[in-house]
Copies of this chain bind each other. A is one copy, B any other.
Amino acid sequence: MPTQPTAGLTNGVHHTEIRVRFGDTDPYGIVYFVSYFRYCHRAIEEFLRACGLPPEETFKNVSEGFGLPIVEAWGRFRRPSIYGDLLRIETRIEEVRAKAILFRFEFYPETGRELLAEGAATLVAIGPDWKARDLPKRIKEALKKNK
């Protein structure tokens, strides 16, 4: 049975809605840069779920003997957002390599096309020994179907 992309993931772009919460800002009321990286992780979680890959069995899968840690992350923060704002993250897979997945993120206001922030994250498949290994075939296929 093929993986059915659910609402949220269309033509390889997943839309995640984020509300800026009380603890997400800096002391001056502006979203703390660290919060954007937390939002990016949430966007990856929702992207995986929409591909039919439950994150709680994907970031670490004991029975199949692999993990999928984030080994690199980057963000550029262009315009300030504040408490209460509704943001929309557009998440794309930039590349699926033999052992790695590269995600790209763009943050926009709920309505509007002004780029507020952007980011990237690289996940690498590892075995129980923490050494890089090939991505499980079923994960690769589920992701490529939504690339």
A-to-B contact residues, CB < 8 Å: 21-23, 25-30, 32-35, 37-38, 41-42, 45, 54-56, 59-60, 67, 69-80, 82-84, 121, 130
Question: A122 vs B23: C-alpha distance in the bound complex, in angstroms?
Answer: 18
User: Contact between A26 and B33 (Cβ–Cβ < 8 Å)?
Assistant: no
Question: A133 vs B127: C-alpha distance in the bound complex, in angstroms?
Answer: 36
User: Contact between B60 and A28 (Cβ–Cβ < 8 Å)?
Assistant: yes
For the complex, would chain A's binding face be called helix, strand, loop or mixed by DSSP majority?
A: mixed
> Given B21, B74, B130, which contacts A80 in the complex, CB threshold below 8 Å?
B130
How near does chain B come to A45, taking the closest CB pair, in angstroms? 7
How near does chain B come to A110, taking the closest CB pair, in angstroms? 14
